[in-house]
Amino acid sequence: MEATMTGPRPSQARIYNRLLGGRDHLTPDRLVADELSDVMPAVGSIAIASRNFLLRAVDHLAQAGARQFLDVGCGLPVGAPVHKVARAVAPRARVVYVDNDPEVAAYARALPARRGGLGVVEGDMHDVETMLAAAADTLNLQQPVVVLMGAVLHFTEAADTILRELAERLAAGSHVVLSHAEAGHPHMEAAAQMYRRMVGPVVLRTATELGVLLKGWDLIGPGIVSAVDWEPGCEPPSARSPLPVLAAVATVPA
């Protein structure tokens, strides 16, 4: 039986934090996360796989020379934040955190290391122009930027528009790093239906549909694979992980 929502509304960021094993969540968020786990016991593993993929990609791209990162829908992560992973490789890397949740933006602004190449934007991924304009206070948009979109595009019908506008506005050599809930898994479909009733929209997509969304970008690495399977420079595995969460890294062509 689904939990009844009372008091504060559940938050995407806090629900994700709960699924990652964090502590920055409230009772309504725990109720939703626990309901999701009942419907799909692997949902916590999916969240962890998604987050681990994103941090692997940050490390790989920093090793390859990336020095600017825009973390869209940064949420309330557990473990190392993006700027620490990037700066372990490139101490002068510049990072901007973006979220449309005022609580998340306030949390990010409180980061002790905010000074010196770190920025926070309270913005929405649907308004790419405004988001990038605000990020330009910290990032040089005439140079390549890595846009991180971990577990956010499945919350919108407008993913195609968002990715197209990013490809049009970012410098050649920029990257997008994304993870996305995969369509076709019965438990994932049931969890998505429950999430829609309790929180808000979810759009599951197949690998083929994600490939269509990335038109205008050049896929790198193994292409669109399970988040568990994504490793830089590797071929797609012959037997992919059963976790229904997709991952991809793509670049704006010259």
pLDDT surpassing 60 at residue 169: yes
Q: Are 228 and 241 in contact (CB under 8 A)?
A: yes
Give CA–CA dist 123/130, Å, rounded: 8
| Phi–psi pair at 147, nearest 5 degrees | -100, 120
Domain 55-182+205-251: CATH architecture, name and number where available: 3-Layer(aba) Sandwich (3.40)
Q: Of the given ranges (4-13, 127-136, 140-149, 174-183), which has the lowest mean pLDDT? A: 4-13
Q: What is the pLDDT of residue 213?
A: 97
Residue 111, CB-side half-sphere exposure with 13 Å CA sphere? 22
Burial letters 40-72, b for 16+ CB under 10 A, else e? bebbbebbbbbbbbbbbbbbbbbeeebbbbbbb
Give CA–CA dist 66/62, Å, rounded: 5
**Percent of the chain, pLDDT > 70?**
95
pLDDT per residue as tens digits for the range 217-226: 999 989 999 9
Query: What is the pTM for the complete model shown?
Result: 0.93
Give CA–CA dist 216/218, Å, rounded: 7
Mean pLDDT of 34-59: 96
| Residue ranges covered by each domain of the chain | 55-182+205-251
Q: What is the pLDDT of residue 254?
A: 86
For the chain, give the mean pLDDT. Answer: 92
